Structure 1
Amino acid sequence: MTSRVVRPDDIVDEATIEDLQRGLLAGEFNCVALVDAYLGRIARWDKRGPMLRAVLALNPAARKLAANRDAALAAEGRFSGPLHGVVVALKDNCNTTDMPTTGGSLSLQGIVPTINSTVSRKLSDAGAIVLAKTNLHEFALSGTTVSSLGGQTLNPYDLTRTPGGSSGGSGVAAAMSFATVAIGTDTVNSIRSPASANCLVGLRPTRGLISRAGVMPVSQTQDSIGPMARTVSDVARVLEVLAGYDTDDPVTARAVGRIPASYYASLDHKAFEGRRIGVLRRLLGDEPRHLEVNTAMARAVQTMRDGGAQVLEVDDPCINADALLRDGDVQKWEFKPLFEAYLRALPQNGVRTLGDVLACGAYHQETLHEFLVQSNDTVDSEHDCGYLGRLAAHDRLRDRVLGLMAEHALDALAYPLQKCLVVPVGAGGQAERNGILAALTGFPALNVPMGFSTPDLNAPLGVPMGMDLLARPFDEPLLLGLGYAFEQRARVRKPPLHTLWPD
């Protein structure tokens, strides 16, 4: 099998898993060439040119891993696994034994875990190559993707804006074809926010579908991990590898018997036919700043109707994102004990407690200090009435959402992930996001690109906006089918205009 030399962009720019694996089988290029192509793009645009600052670390063994994949294909004449040659960007709160895992924090700089996260291991076993660790909002604790180690990641569609977060580095890596696919984590909005802001598909799976073992924790109740990609089909292919029971994350026992033979098989361009979709009125804004998102959402509704769906507006005063975040979020109570248990399992570096992090000061103090202090002062959460009341409220919310769907015979709910455009750099926290609904219920939510704002000098294509589709637990096949049907009809995806940037 011979390989020809081609320009990096010819290989990987906007390429899907299917595209690249077809080329590998045909001998048009090999895995080493793919790795080199992605490395070339990272060098060209992440550390030079626009300096997007999406990547924190590169895998020094990536080319060797790629060569091993090439040798296996040459010897066996078939792929070593379903993700053979797929190059992955992994959020830097997922443990890897060949690169540091820092959570974007100077306090953990250089720390290399001794055991891989389950997600990293599953990707490798499936033939993927983890090429890079990506920047995040430090410790995955907020939504603008700035960290003491990596600085501020920029949105490639508008360099004056943030990329969403906390998985903003993974979002930019996928949007810019720095990797074939990316992995993020989501405690409130953190996969779907950068998916929305970077014209990507992002899945927050049902709680328990994908193991979180070996992932730097924030909240046992709300943490999730999932794929981000440029197409629904690539998200489905990655989900097939990552879903499943893991003894190291007992919550995954909920998924036993609930995983189909294939998620990819659920993709159907006619998936909206006969479906009933409810648009959550309370998750839309009414101010002038909401006009761009509301206009895109109206187009999305029409796209679903054109596909054969019945779409109706539903209004429930209990489904209010600001109130849910204020009264339901449990990060403050759960972060400290989980984080300290995680720290104790790392190689010794002098940081063993949250108090140690506060004392050393090597973190992004402007965005994290208040939360870290509050969490450090929280003790005996299991007997805290405020915390226990919030957990009880989660149960009521799940029943409320299921009841709303039953009352209106709905297959899924729809809403914009963010009521307004993603915020500019330096504007403070990320504004008016709706992802808390999936985070508190544990229900699956798939974010799909639904449009761009009006172009301007800073955003020549406009700023991307995304729509969440939320369904009942373990209804990922339904969501992927709907997402695929929407993607094929709407054809929203456009890559950033990186050709305008100087090398």
Structure 2
Amino acid sequence: MTARSILRSLAALVLGMVALGASASAQSGFHLQEATIADVHRAIRAKELTATQLVGHYLKRIEAYNGRCVTGAVDASTGYQLGDITPITNAKNVNALITLNLRGRRSKTDSADNNPNMQDALEQARALDEEFARNGQLKGPLHGVPFAVKDQFDTFDMRTTSGAAANYANDRPPMDAEIVARLRAAGAIILAKSNLGEYASGDRSTHGGTTCNPYDTARSAGRSSGGSGAAVAANLVMCAIGEETGPSARNPAANGSLVGIVATHSLVSRAGIIPASLTRDRPGALCRSVKDSATVLGVLAGYDPRDPTTADSMGRMAPQSYQSYADNADLRGLRIGVVREFMQVFTKADEDSVRIAEEALKDLQKAGATLIDPGPDGALFKDAIAQILPTLDAAASATNIRLLAEREPRVTGEVLFVMNRYLRERGDANIATVEDLIAKSIFFTHAPIDGVTLVPRTRLEDMLSTRQTLVKTSDGSVVQHRVPVGTLDVAGWHALRTTLQMLVNKVMADQRLDALVYPTKTIPAPLLANPVEPTNLKTVKESTKFTVDGVEYQRSVERATDLRAPLTPRLSPNAGLPTIAVPAGFTREVYDRAIAPGPSGAKQAGVLLPAKQIALPVSIDFLGRAYSEPVLIRIAAAYEAATRHRRPPKDFPPLQGEP
């Protein structure tokens, strides 16, 4: 039986309940499109909607809109698209969800799927309905709310592989990630695992395929958490969990006209995550409103003994519920600093996003905020960098916050250590090490694409050894040299975090600021499988000579002396500071890069193509000091209430009969 036929059968099972719910909802005014958590709970309390009916509505939308959105040869033996892909314009599908929480669909290693202790989504919904019928009480702040969880997070009842086609003996991990357990305890229904960039990088996974943007299916949904973002934007679920090592919670929020919250690094547990970093991973909440995202944050936040970093949050959490700061929020008396360094127009591709950000600044002022703005050519961080860097980090050559925020410290063994630790704790009988993942997985592949992450097999191999391109000084021949990864050393990341936090704290203290604001990014969603806007603006070439086994080699690298963020500025993840991305509008025109053929079939960034008239979402970020989530929620909610920029994608409308 095909996936679609299974979904049709399941949809038929709940059709009667859905029809009853639609009738009641029509009378009450409940509409599924853009519904909030409060809307759902209001309808449930009024006995106009049940959790089972709500899950049924979403299953029908998943059946209609979660198909493939790219073309490419399908491997006959696996059913996977393993080679080059081409996005489908106006596909009216997004391929956002990788695994559904329905019996028979949740695992490739458990075909029976008959464990009564592993309720599927419909069974969980019925249990919630029965409990509510008995006592009239909601189980928690997320009662009945259908969620998607990025496939990077462990779910004890569903396949978890970070999108990989990895041959686990048991593709279900032994226990939930801490944040998944907290969602369930609050009444949430984990309806699906969302697709992702394999091992939390890129737009594509071997097992799940490619996710597409609901506002233009030829474009990126937001890289590694794109499945989570696309699922919420296209209303396949109410909210989703993403993960951010670099930009991968705020980037899908920006690409999907969503609200994305990433908390202070130590506020939310990372236990039970297939890791991308020992130092920077952090979960993010993606919903369609500030209050809903804040409600999710309130469920996730707090100390977890399985993640020692969360001990820092003790005594530093909000004194009242996080969502309460979104109520009746206003900006009067608040001072917000404008990070002009992240609002530069480098090419015409930046112009529309910067224009929208300028409008957002005006809206903030109209709503009562005081802006501390150094002006279009100014630099908010200039004085702080000049004062702090010479004493704190004398080796740093950065002259602006763009360069500092994107810095890649020299570290060793980080990803290898944390991935092997995860696999050891998971305890699978077939896959216990990174070497096993390489040997016992199927991988998609393609030629290199400028600005697009390396293919997953290469990234796994790079965990084991670092690659260096060397030139033999005696004859000029080129040699690819690999150095095995040895000891673990992540001191560079901790030093960078300290530097960035000191800079933010000083700027905010000197200017008496409550938050910083800047565009989440200035390049809207790029085309899938295409080169993106070049990041290095200025570079210098540096060469070093050294000897390997008695032979002298030269290694040359280009070091950036100024750059633009490849996706979103990495000040927030690299500093570990809380940030909220909020919809700010839509583009009028978009500029893409032509493809310039490179060696071995590589796609390199060519000239800027003429403008296309496309409305793509644009967002702004509000960033604050550590544990300043309450004031950021207040600011974001007030801006949202004053502007209401979010609008659903037109190609994913309500279905016939949908309330």
Give the TM-score of the pair, scaled to structure 2. Answer: 0.71
> Where does 1:175-194 land on structure 2 (aligned, <5 Å)?
175-194=233-252
Letter in 2 for 1:174: V
What is aligned with 1:153?
A: 211
Question: Is the counterpart of residue 465 in structure 1 residue 611 in structure 2?
Answer: no
Higher relative contact order (CA 8 A, sep 6+): 1
**SS of aligned partner of 2:272:** coil
> Which one of 464, 486, 497 corresponds to residue 376 of structure 1?
464
Partners of 1:210 and 1:148 in 2: CA distance: 29
Letter in 2 for 1:469: F
Deviates more, 1:476-485 or 1:316-325: 316-325
What is aligned with 2:595?
A: none
Question: Is the counterpart of residue 105 in structure 1 residue 153 in structure 2?
Answer: no
**SS of aligned partner of 1:449:** strand
CA shift, 1:362, in A, is 2.2
Partners of 2:44 and 2:410 in 1: CA distance: 46
Question: Is the counterpart of residue 335 in structure 1 residue 412 in structure 2?
Answer: no
Partners of 2:520 and 2:403 in 1: CA distance: 13
> Which one of 58, 66, 77 corresponds to residue 46 of structure 1?
66
Structure 1 gap segments, 5+ residues each: none
**SS of aligned partner of 1:169:** helix
What is aligned with 2:192?
A: 132
What is aligned with 1:210?
A: 268
Partners of 2:613 and 2:60 in 1: CA distance: 24
- Change in CA separation of 1:499 and 1:224 when aligned onto 2, cut-off 3 Å: closer
Question: Is the counterpart of residue 58 in structure 1 residue 100 in structure 2?
Answer: yes
**SS of aligned partner of 1:139:** coil
What is aligned with 1:303?
A: 363
> Which one of 546, 560, 573 corresponds to residue 439 of structure 1?
573
> Which one of 308, 312, 324 corresponds to residue 405 of structure 2?
324
> Where does 1:162-311 land on structure 2 (aligned, <5 Å)?
162-260=220-318, 261-286=320-345, 287-311=347-371
Partners of 1:103 and 1:70 in 2: CA distance: 32
**SS of aligned partner of 2:22:** coil
What is aligned with 2:52?
A: 32
**SS of aligned partner of 1:227:** strand
> Where does 1:65-84 land on structure 2 (aligned, <5 Å)?
65-84=124-143
Letter in 1 for 2:178: T
Partners of 1:209 and 1:82 in 2: CA distance: 19
Partners of 1:309 and 1:249 in 2: CA distance: 37
CA shift, 1:51, in A, is 2.6
CA shift, 1:345, in A, is 2.8
CA shift, 1:394, in A, is 2.1
Question: Is the counterpart of residue 449 in structure 1 residue 583 in structure 2?
Answer: yes
Partners of 2:129 and 2:284 in 1: CA distance: 27
CA shift, 1:325, in A, is 2.5
Q: 1:328–1:391: 8 Å Cα contact kept in structure 2? A: no
Deviates more, 1:40-49 or 1:90-99: 40-49
Letter in 2 for 1:66: A
Q: 1:201–1:449: 8 Å Cα contact kept in structure 2? A: yes
Bigger-Rg structure (1/2): 2
CA shift, 1:340, in A, is 1.2
Q: 2:142–2:186: 8 Å Cα contact kept in structure 1? A: yes
> Which one of 33, 36, 42 corresponds to residue 22 of structure 1?
42
Question: Is the counterpart of residue 406 in structure 1 residue 509 in structure 2?
Answer: yes
- Change in CA separation of 1:485 and 1:397 when aligned onto 2, cut-off 3 Å: same
Letter in 1 for 2:630: P
Deviates more, 1:339-348 or 1:121-130: 339-348
Q: 1:107–1:362: 8 Å Cα contact kept in structure 2? A: yes
Q: 1:11–1:34: 8 Å Cα contact kept in structure 2? A: no
CA shift, 1:374, in A, is 2.6
CA shift, 1:82, in A, is 1.7
Partners of 1:329 and 1:188 in 2: CA distance: 17
Q: 1:270–1:307: 8 Å Cα contact kept in structure 2? A: no
Partners of 1:212 and 1:435 in 2: CA distance: 22
What is aligned with 1:489?
A: 642
- What do you get for the CA RMSD once the two structures are aligned? 2.6
Q: 1:103–1:216: 8 Å Cα contact kept in structure 2? A: yes
- Change in CA separation of 1:499 and 1:127 when aligned onto 2, cut-off 3 Å: closer
Letter in 2 for 1:196: A
- Change in CA separation of 1:362 and 1:285 when aligned onto 2, cut-off 3 Å: farther
Question: Is the counterpart of residue 6 in structure 1 residue 16 in structure 2?
Answer: no
Percent identity over the alignment?
34
**SS of aligned partner of 2:224:** coil
Deviates more, 1:421-430 or 1:218-227: 421-430
Partners of 1:19 and 1:401 in 2: CA distance: 38
Letter in 2 for 1:161: R
Letter in 2 for 1:227: A
Partners of 2:655 and 2:189 in 1: CA distance: 29
Q: 2:21–2:50: 8 Å Cα contact kept in structure 1? A: no
CA shift, 1:455, in A, is 6.3
CA shift, 1:16, in A, is 0.4
- Change in CA separation of 1:311 and 1:269 when aligned onto 2, cut-off 3 Å: farther
- 1:76-126 Cα shifts (integer Å, max 9, x gaps): 111122211111111111111111011011125771011111111111111
Partners of 1:402 and 1:305 in 2: CA distance: 23
CA shift, 1:355, in A, is 2.2
- 1:115-174 Cα shifts (integer Å, max 9, x gaps): 11111111111111100000011111x2x4211111110000011111112110000111
Partners of 1:245 and 1:342 in 2: CA distance: 20
Partners of 1:75 and 1:342 in 2: CA distance: 41
Question: Is the counterpart of residue 352 in structure 1 residue 432 in structure 2?
Answer: yes
Q: 2:61–2:236: 8 Å Cα contact kept in structure 1? A: yes
CA shift, 1:326, in A, is 3.8
- 1:310-344 Cα shifts (integer Å, max 9, x gaps): 213341355544553343486x7411111111122
CA shift, 1:282, in A, is 1.5
Deviates more, 1:97-106 or 1:431-440: 431-440
CA shift, 1:253, in A, is 0.8
- 1:272-308 Cα shifts (integer Å, max 9, x gaps): 2121111112212322110011011001101111111
Q: Give the paired residue count.
A: 496
Deviates more, 1:269-278 or 1:7-16: 7-16
- 1:15-67 Cα shifts (integer Å, max 9, x gaps): 10000011111111211100010111011011276231100000021100000
Partners of 2:45 and 2:38 in 1: CA distance: 11
Partners of 2:172 and 2:400 in 1: CA distance: 42
CA shift, 1:247, in A, is 0.6
CA shift, 1:211, in A, is 0.9
Q: 1:111–1:349: 8 Å Cα contact kept in structure 2? A: no
Q: 1:219–1:338: 8 Å Cα contact kept in structure 2? A: yes
Partners of 1:333 and 1:175 in 2: CA distance: 37
- Change in CA separation of 1:328 and 1:306 when aligned onto 2, cut-off 3 Å: farther
Letter in 2 for 1:53: N
- Change in CA separation of 1:389 and 1:239 when aligned onto 2, cut-off 3 Å: closer
CA shift, 1:440, in A, is 1.3
Deviates more, 1:462-471 or 1:284-293: 284-293
Letter in 2 for 1:160: A
Q: 1:450–1:467: 8 Å Cα contact kept in structure 2? A: yes
Q: 2:65–2:652: 8 Å Cα contact kept in structure 1? A: no
Letter in 2 for 1:92: D
Partners of 1:280 and 1:328 in 2: CA distance: 23
Q: 1:218–1:334: 8 Å Cα contact kept in structure 2? A: no
Partners of 1:446 and 1:435 in 2: CA distance: 13
**SS of aligned partner of 1:6:** helix
